[in-house]
Amino acid sequence: MSQPLPPDEKPTRVLYGVLGFAGTLSMITYLDRVCFGTVAPQIQREFGLSDTQKGMLFSAFALAYAAFEVPSGWLGDVYGPRRTLIRIVLWWSAFTALTGLIFPDAIGVQLAFWVMLAVRFFFGMGEAGCYPNISRAFHNWFPFSERGFAQGAVWMAGRFAGGVTPFFVLALLFETRPLGLTVTHWRHTFWIFGSIGLVWCGLFW
């Protein structure tokens, strides 16, 4: 684990590399979470979900995200933010991809709902560790006077990604008409976004 910098030490190019990876990661978190919200109408229709069940899928993510913020931050303190972030991103990228692998026609509508609920919960558990460990990385790498700028840049990057993600998702969706029925294909969006997390891990390592 890197030692905290003295307050008066000037940042180097390495620090801006850390900032670049952190900002990119912040954008990926919003890619993955906003993707689900964008295709939720298609999922609700295909899975035959009520509005209450659809709300439960969103709540499962929010509950896990809130519950695991502190434990995930503790892991960063113990094992270091670099290792912890890689494990976290691998975790949530896997569950992002798994979202597109649940087929109600194959396992039944009720079971598909409960599997999706579990996937959403574990996805939220993984994403909960992102920002606490980014903050820990900034504590290790950035002098005190630069941390406000770094945090602001990361939050701006995430919010920007959250705003543009629906356009990317909608551009990736496509329809087919087997037997005269319109079918919207959405699963590949989760596989694409999940793979982006894997690429980030490889580069960050």
Q: What is the DSSP string of 8-41?
A: TPPP-HHHHHHHHHHHHHHHHHHHHHHHHHHHHH
pLDDT of residue 12: 64
**What average pLDDT does the segment 157-173 reach?**
92
Kindly calculate the radius of gyration of the chain based on its CA atoms and give it in whole angstroms: 19
Which residue has 């598909």 as its token pair?
A: 112
**What average pLDDT does the segment 63-92 reach?**
93
pLDDT of residue 10: 52
pLDDT of residue 90: 95
Judged against a pLDDT cut of 80, whether residue 43 lies above it is answered with yes
Distance, CA of 123 to CA of 119 (rounded, Å)? 6
Distance, CA of 58 to CA of 142 (rounded, Å)? 35
Distance, CA of 128 to CA of 122 (rounded, Å)? 10
Q: In the predicted model, what is the mean pLDDT of the chain?
A: 90
Distance, CA of 138 to CA of 4 (rounded, Å)? 9
Judged against a pLDDT cut of 70, whether residue 2 lies above it is answered with no
Distance, CA of 157 to CA of 4 (rounded, Å)? 24
pLDDT of residue 59: 97
pTM comes to 0.86
Domains (range + CATH), the chain: 17-170+182-204 (1.20.1250.20)
Report the amino acid identity of residue 89.
V
- Estimate the crossing angle of helix 13-47 against helix 81-99, to 10 degrees: 20
Residues 27-54: b if buried by 16+ CB within 10 A, e if exposed: bbbbbbbbbbebbbeebeebbebeeebb
Q: What is the separation of C-alpha 51 from the centre of its chain, rounded to a whole number of angstroms?
A: 24
Residue 74: exposure state from Cβ atoms within 10 A (0-12, 13-18, ≥19): middle
Helices (H), 68-175: 69-79, 81-99, 104-107, 109-127, 130-141, 144-172
Judged against a pLDDT cut of 80, whether residue 140 lies above it is answered with yes
Judged against a pLDDT cut of 50, whether residue 8 lies above it is answered with no
Phi-psi region of 56 (alpha: psi -120 to 50; beta: other; left: phi over 0): alpha
